[in-house]
Chains A and B, each alone.
Chain A
Amino acid sequence: MNTFLAALFSGTSRGAIFALVALGLVIVWRGAGIVNFAQMGQAMFSTYIASTLITNGNSYWVGFFVALFAGAAMGALLDILVMRPLSNKKKTELLSSDSMRAAVPVIASLGILGALQALAGILWAAEERGFPAPAKQEGFTFGSNVMPFTAFDLFVISLVALTLVITTLFFKKTGIGLAMRATALNQEVAKLSGIRTNRTRTLSWAISGAASSLAGLLITPTSNLSPNTLDLVLIVGFTAAVVGGLDSPAGAVLGGFILGMVISFVTFYDTPEDVFLSILAVLLLVLLIRPRGILGSKDVRRV
């Protein structure tokens, strides 16, 4: 029973973070039609910035907010410097086919991932370092029992919940949010309505960058920080996004929690070594049964 509760709690708090990662991927996919494989590289880099600030005597919150800002700035720069020039090049021969148009931005994002990881290695060395948590990482005590649930878990879950509420309100209630949704759904009609689609697209990259940086800040206290630590998080986030539906923000959240539970239960009841195989199994299962994901729309984009 205790194992079950522990798995459930750990699945919830991990799932919250994966939901954030998946949400970041979904926002850029909807906004720009690109799966950004560099996303957690950006998160790693901004977490390093936070880590450097904090070890140099600044408060956790200074590091926290600077990292969020850095994540957003990196996302926007990446779009302006790499992805936008690439999408303006559609007329070249190599990019004249659908399949290459889909492949080339992925290759570019992998290049960015490689560059960020190498740069982090140069700046901060490759060995792992810890990253502080703003709340206690010991379980709550209930009478004489130590519960498998920590103050930090509570912090993670409430912060993610807050983020989800804010993003939902932003997308549903503001004009910029409407412009971003319109751009994602139908660029031509958006342009004809006077929406500056280039700008809204850059904004999706920035929001996604901030969301994934938040994920980085929340996951590194339990997993340590190195140039490659967040690769696995990206894989899980990608799987979560596909499970929920790449074009559905709500699906991303759902997928994140499903993956969190799967990983947590495999870790507690089986062995951590099976985690990857179980992720692969979940991914293949979803792709075979419901290729557009649980909440994905029917034919917005071809799988």
Chain B
Amino acid sequence: MLKIENLVTKFGSVVALDGVSMTAHESKITTVIGANGAGKSTLLRTISGLEHPAQGAITWQGESIVGRRPEDIVRLGIAHVPEGHAVISELSVEENISMGSLFRRRKFKSDIAKAMDEMYQLFPRLQERRKQLAGTLSGGERQMLAISRALVSRPQLLLLDEPSLGLAPLVVEQIIDSVNTLCRTTGLTVLLVEQNANTALGVADHGVLLALGKVVADRPAAELKADENLRAAYLGY
């Protein structure tokens, strides 16, 4: 379980997160929705250690992770797929995936090939393009690669930042489906940030609505999806 209490993150004088409290429950998909600039990405970046909070607590499985470096937080089982299909274009598909498992080479040597095979089973298109440079992939394939890069480390918590960004609806559906299946079959906990609220709420168990760095609503996803007032006020449709 990931527990966030009163989290504040600032960029200079700009307050991006203004006292956020929320929880991501084990083996569930929790989605954080909200308009552009609501602080959704900052929330994930603060959890994974890329940004340092000004105050507040982040507890993962009973242990505080505030102030740890990103490379240590990954080792605790939290994998972050940042916004914008974050892969390294100059490396091959295979290298991008195996990059995610480098830190497990000593302790889990025998598992690495298996984990990589699972990624190729999850996204068969990546296997076809193993030797290609990541820069030559389509947007959807790059997003699959970024997710594989994170999943190959066998995380317990996946932080997924706007996987739908710039992708065709069909591809989005495919990616979200894969993540959903993974969550239901392996017990992965997912924290999904989305601007596309409908898609996200459709698959999530729980929804958190963020506006200007503050939590406006924190309810079961279905309930949130049905609330037309909130939708009109914060998401504009």
User: A residues touching B (Cβ–Cβ < 8 Å)?
Assistant: 175, 178-179, 181-182, 185-186, 188-197, 297, 300
Taking a contact as CB atoms under 8 Å apart, the answer to whether B153 and A194 are in contact is: yes
Interface size for B (C-beta < 8 A) is 27
Contacts of B100 in A (CB 8 A): 193-194
* Cα–Cα distance between A197 and B72 once the two chains are bound (Å): 11
Contacts of B87 in A (CB 8 A): 189
Contacts of B50 in A (CB 8 A): 188, 191-192
- Supposing A178-B102, A182-B88, A186-B88 touch, asked if A193 and B149 sit within 8 A by C-beta, the answer is yes
* Cα–Cα distance between A297 and B90 once the two chains are bound (Å): 10
Contacts of B131 in A (CB 8 A): none
- Supposing A178-B99, A178-B102, A179-B99 touch, asked if A192 and B70 sit within 8 A by C-beta, the answer is yes
Query: Would you call B80 an interface residue if the criterion is a C-beta within 8 Å of the partner chain's C-beta atoms?
Result: yes
Chain A contact residues, majority secondary structure: helix
Contacts of A181 in B (CB 8 A): 90-91, 95
| Closest chain A residue to B149, Cβ basis | A193
Contacts of B219 in A (CB 8 A): none
Q: When each residue 11-52 of chain B gets 1 if its CB lies under 8 Å from chain A and 0 otherwise, what string results?
A: 000000000000000000000000000000000000011100
Most B CB within 10 A of own CB, among A175, A186, A189 = A189
- With beta carbons under 8 angstroms apart, the residue of A185, A191, A297, A300 that contacts B71 is A191
Q: When each residue 90-129 of chain B gets 1 if its CB lies under 8 Å from chain A and 0 otherwise, what string results?
A: 1100010011101111000000000000000000000000
Taking a contact as CB atoms under 8 Å apart, the answer to whether A175 and B71 are in contact is: no
11 more A-B contacts (CB under 8 A) besides A192-B74, A192-B86, A194-B100? A178-B95, A178-B102, A179-B99, A181-B95, A185-B88, A186-B88, A189-B88, A192-B82, A193-B102, A195-B102, A197-B71
Contacts of B75 in A (CB 8 A): 194
Taking a contact as CB atoms under 8 Å apart, the answer to whether B91 and A194 are in contact is: no
* Cα–Cα distance between A196 and B87 once the two chains are bound (Å): 17
Taking a contact as CB atoms under 8 Å apart, the answer to whether B103 and A185 are in contact is: no
Leading 3 A-B pairs by shortest Cβ distance? A194-B103, A194-B74, A191-B70
Most B CB within 10 A of own CB, among A178, A197, A297 = A178
- Supposing A185-B88, A197-B71 touch, asked if A192 and B48 sit within 8 A by C-beta, the answer is yes
* Cα–Cα distance between A182 and B89 once the two chains are bound (Å): 10
Contacts of B70 in A (CB 8 A): 191-192
* Cα–Cα distance between A82 and B86 once the two chains are bound (Å): 31
Query: Would you call B69 an interface residue if the criterion is a C-beta within 8 Å of the partner chain's C-beta atoms?
Result: yes
Query: Would you call B209 an interface residue if the criterion is a C-beta within 8 Å of the partner chain's C-beta atoms?
Result: no
Shortest Cβ distance from residue B102 to the other chain A in the assembled complex, whole angstroms: 5
| Closest chain B residue to A190, Cβ basis | B99
* Cα–Cα distance between A186 and B89 once the two chains are bound (Å): 9
Shortest Cβ distance from residue B78 to the other chain A in the assembled complex, whole angstroms: 10
